[in-house]
Every structure is written in C-alpha cells, then in structure tokens.
Amino acid sequence: MSITARLLGSAVSRWGEDPWARGSWSLIGRHGTPQDRVALGTPVGERLRIAGEATHPTRAGMTHGAYEKGVEAAGWAADLGHSRVAVVGAGMAGLGAARTLAERGVQVRIFEARDRIGGRTAGADVAGGAFDLGANWLQQYDENVLARLAERLGLTMVPTDFGDPLVLTGEPFPDGIEDDLRDRLSRAAPESGIADVLDDWLRDPAPWTAAEIHRFVDAEIVMDAGAPLSWLSARHGFEPGVGEGDRWIVGGYRRLTGHLADGLDIRLGHPVRDIRVEAGRVVLNGDVSADAVIVTAPLPVLAGGGITFDPPLPPAHRDALGRLGAGRVEKVILRFDQRFWPEHGYYRVHGPERTSISEWLDATAADGTPTLVGLFAGHWLGTLWTGTDAEIADRATGIIRAAAARRG
Ligand SMILES: Cc1cc2nc3c(=O)[nH]c(=O)nc-3n(C[C@H](O)[C@H](O)[C@H](O)COP(=O)(O)OP(=O)(O)OC[C@H]3O[C@@H](n4cnc5c(N)ncnc54)[C@H](O)[C@@H]3O)c2cc1C
C-alpha cells in the first residue's frame, strides 16, 4: 500500500485549553455518583436552573442527553409561567431549551460566549469538506431524539461498528476481558478509583497478561474518558455511551445545530460572567433582565468559577460540581490525496509507547476524498498536543502512517 500520500488539509481540536469548554465531556469522580448529576440539574428556586450534558444521569457526555436536559429545563420555565427567559450557551442544551421555549410562546434570548453556535459540536472545513472536531456520532441511535431529527431532515448518516475496530498495531483483546473488567468495577469499594481496581487486578492478572489488561483499560476507559484513572470513579466512571449502531453525519453536526438555531435570538460573543437572582427577576452581567435563566455552560466552566452566582449556588450544587469533572479527548482531521490504510471504517492504534492510544474513523464516505478523523487521549497529549496545529497534525499523520506501514 502506498505511503507517499500527500496531506491535503488538516484541522486540530483544542478542547483542553478552550476557555468555554475546559475539557471534552463530564465524568464522575471517585467521590461522586449519578445522583450528583441529578443534584446539579435540580432547579434553584423558581428562576435558575442548570442544564447541559453534565446533568443527565444516564445520557451524560452526549449530545442527545444535553438536548433532552435543555428541553426539560425549558418545560420547567414555561410551566412556571415565565414569559422572558435567558439561556446561557448555544450548544445542544441551550438550543434545545430555546427552541422549546420559543415553541411555547416564551420570549427567549441565548447569550453565547463564542462567536459561533454549537458548543462542543464544532465543524471544521478541511480541503473542501466539513467534518466534526467535537461530537461526531449520534450515539444510542435507536433511542436518540437527535437521530430522529436527523432522519426527518433527511441527513446522510454512516454507521460505525465500534465492536469490531481494526487493530492496526497491537493485538485484539481476548474474549471475556470486558466482562471481567465490568464485574470488577461493579464490585469495587465505594469511593475507589479505577486505578485501585487496576492495581488489584494486576496483582493477580490470570487468565490475562498484564499487557493485555493495560491495553484493554487504555482502549476502553482512557480513550472513553480521557481522565486520570486514580480520579475516575470505579463504580460510576464507566458510563453508557459508544455502541454498535452509532452513526456520524455527513457534513457534520452543524447540519443539526443550524436547523435548531434557525429563527432564534442568539447573541454571539456575549459571555455571561455573573448571574444575580433578585425578587421577581434575574439579572445577567448587571444589565440584562429576565424572569428566569437556564445555564448550559459546561461543568468545568461552572466548577472553575467562570460564572459568579449571587446568591451562591446551594451546597448540593456546589458539592456536585466538586465531585464531577471532565476529561480530555482531542481530535484531528486529516485529508489525503490517496488512501494508505486498509478499508475498514474504524481503527485502533496502540503505541508508540505503552500508554499511547489513538482511534481513527475513516470518514472517506463523506465525499470520496480519503479522510481520517483521529481521537487521542491519555498522558501523551501533554507532548503530542503542543505547538502549532500544523505540528500536531504532522505528528498525528506520522502515527497513522507508521501504524498503516507496520500493518502492511
Ligand atoms: C472531542 C469530542 C468528541 C465528542 N464525541 C461525541 C459523540 O461522538 N457523540 C456525542 O453524543 N457526544 C460527543 N461529545 C460530547 C458532546 O459534544 C457534548 O456532550 C455536548 O455537545 C454538550 O452539549 P451542552 O449543550 O451540554 O454543552 P456545550 O456544547 O459545551 O454548550 C455550552 C455552550 O455554553 C457556552 N458558554 C460557556 N461558558 C459561557 C458563558 N460564561 N457565557 C455564555 N456562554 C458560555 C459555550 O461556548 C457553549 O457554546 C464529544 C465531545 C468532544 C469534545
């Protein structure tokens, strides 16, 4: 197979350092439970409610979970009879909330910090095609409300079989290892981290080898969470998500967000820094008044004090913010003038170091131009994701070229 393919264009995500994301998606830390997600999304009186993916107890970290929580918060505000509602953030939760409010005749304005909508769904135009640097798949496809919307809009979607990735370097996993991991996690002591379970497992690894266990945990948990295993809850940190039947959208998530935003009053470039709840109204940034506010800023933005609340959030909300957190998974889009990797759809690459792992989606189906979308997580982001976008793309290209060449 040719390895002289020329790179036509690339794009690189920066979720870890993005001030309006500060990570990729929310996770449950060792002292937390899904109940913390419920607590965070519980209304604060009758004028303030936090929504967004982090508040969904069973669909966290996913676009449809975010959207559902936005719709739910909108129902809460409308049922209370509020006629002017402010929404903070124009991601899936904010768009879902605002659209629902508008449909119920409520006057709604979205205040969005960035100069674009979509939040952690973010499109990039690369060498004539549009691809996703944030959310890629419609997950839990059969029960995904956004998948139904995509179908109604007639969008072209391509399924990915996550159950059968082509392992370009490294060995496939032995049968039974996943059941063993899940069983160990379910039996873990309360408030233990995944690293505790791993340490215990490695003391008596049979019938697996230590290398197999490391590889499996890297692929299944590090890639899925992008957070330190010592921090991540053993009992609750491995949440439902990626599965067979997930589909990605040709043209990217912007096909959905553009539709959802249509006709809404969205103020781009308007970060909300403080929210004051007064008798009879809420005041944003000292000068915007509304009957109620729905806040969909990502969890690390809230936990990091990106928005000041007056009065402060109640203890249950603050505790939840402390027990939840976010990981870091980054993406690269690479487009080439010819394919140098085998046709399969989804790939896993182990190496070059033991702790380095990447997964790759073949997105060539979008328009026929050979395209890879690489996902990276784990310690090596500290060195891999440095320098310019071009330098990062170059390193990523080197990794997939070497893996494809070794595969032959
Ligand atoms: C690399 C990556 C891959 C992913 N892959 C998938 C996937 O395949 N499938 C899937 O379902 N999910 C995936 N996700 C997760 C998914 O993108 C999120 O769960 C979802 O988009 C979150 O929506 P949200 O509305 O809760 O938050 P966001 O989309 O983050 O929206 C919040 C909005 O608030 C704005 N904001 C923040 N602070 C302020 C402020 N102070 N004032 C005003 N505005 C503010 C932000 O700019 C943002 O627009 C992925 C995420 C990443 C990063």
Q: Cα separation of 200 and 262, whole Å?
A: 53
Q: For residues 73-85, give the mean pLDDT.
A: 98
SS3 133: coil
* Banded model confidence at residue 372, pLDDT cuts 50, 70, 90: very high
Q: 30 pLDDT exceeds 90?
A: yes
User: How confident is residue 289, by pLDDT bands cut at 50, 70 and 90?
Assistant: very high
Average pLDDT over residues 208-222: 90
Burial class (CB in 10 A: 0-12, 13-18, 19+), 394: middle
Are the CB atoms for 328 and 23 separated by under 8 Å?
yes
What pLDDT is attached to residue 161?
Answer: 87
Among 24, 120, 328, say which to mutate for ligand 1: greatest number of ligand atoms within 8 Å of CB. Answer: 120
pLDDT at position 350 is 87
Mean of pLDDT values over 229-252: 89
C-alpha distance from residue 161 to each of 50, 137, 342 (Å): 34, 11, 16
117: left (phi > 0), else alpha (psi -120 to 50), else beta? beta
More confident: 242 or 383 = 383
Task: Indicate if the pLDDT at residue 173 is higher than 90.
Answer: no
The pLDDT tens digits of the residues spanning 139-164 come to 999 999 999 999 999 999 999 988 78
Name the more confident of 362 and 239: 362
Query: What secondary structure letter does DSSP report for 35?
Result: H
Band (pLDDT 50/70/90 cuts) for residue 395 is very high
Find which of 79-83, 352-356, 381-385 is predicted with most confidence, using mean pLDDT. Answer: 79-83
pLDDT of residue 3: 55
**Out of 12-16, 227-231, 371-375, which region has the weakest mean confidence (pLDDT)?**
227-231
- Three-state SS string across 147-192, please? HHHHHHCCCCEEECCCCCCEEEECCCCCCCHHHHHHHHHHCCCCCC
- Token pair belonging to 384: 């891999």
Q: Cα separation of 260 and 94, whole Å?
A: 10
User: Where do the domains of the chain lie, and which CATH numbers do they carry?
Assistant: 1-16+163-241+328-408 (3.90.660.10), 27-120+254-323 (3.50.50.60)
Q: 362 pairs with which residues across the strands?
A: 372
Weakest mean pLDDT among 35-44, 198-207, 218-227 = 218-227
How many angstroms separate the alpha carbon of residue 279 from the centre of ligand 1?
31
Taking only the tens place, the pLDDT of each residue in 292-307 is 999 999 999 999 999 9
Which residue has the least CA distance to atom 13 on ligand 1? Answer: 135
Instruction: Place 379 in a pLDDT band, splitting at 50, 70 and 90.
Output: confident
Does 244 have pLDDT greater than 80?
no
pLDDT tens-place string over residues 331-358: 999 999 999 999 999 999 988 877 788 9
The string of DSSP codes covering 57-99 is SSSTTSHHHHHHHHHHHHHHHHHTT-SEEEEE--SHHHHHHHH
Contact 138, 18 (CB under 8 A): no
Residue ID of nearest Cα to ligand 1 atom 35:
89
Q: Is the pLDDT of residue 9 over 70?
A: yes
| pLDDT the model gives residue 29 | 97
Distance (angstroms) between ligand 1 centre and the Cα of 89 equals: 9
- Supply φ then ψ for residue 149, to 5 degrees: -65, -45
Average predicted confidence (pLDDT) for the chain? 95
- Where does ligand 1 bind, in terms of residues with CB under 6 Å? 13, 15, 20-21, 24-25, 52-53, 61-63, 66, 88-94, 111-114, 119-121, 134-137, 139, 271-272, 296-298, 301, 306-307, 329, 331
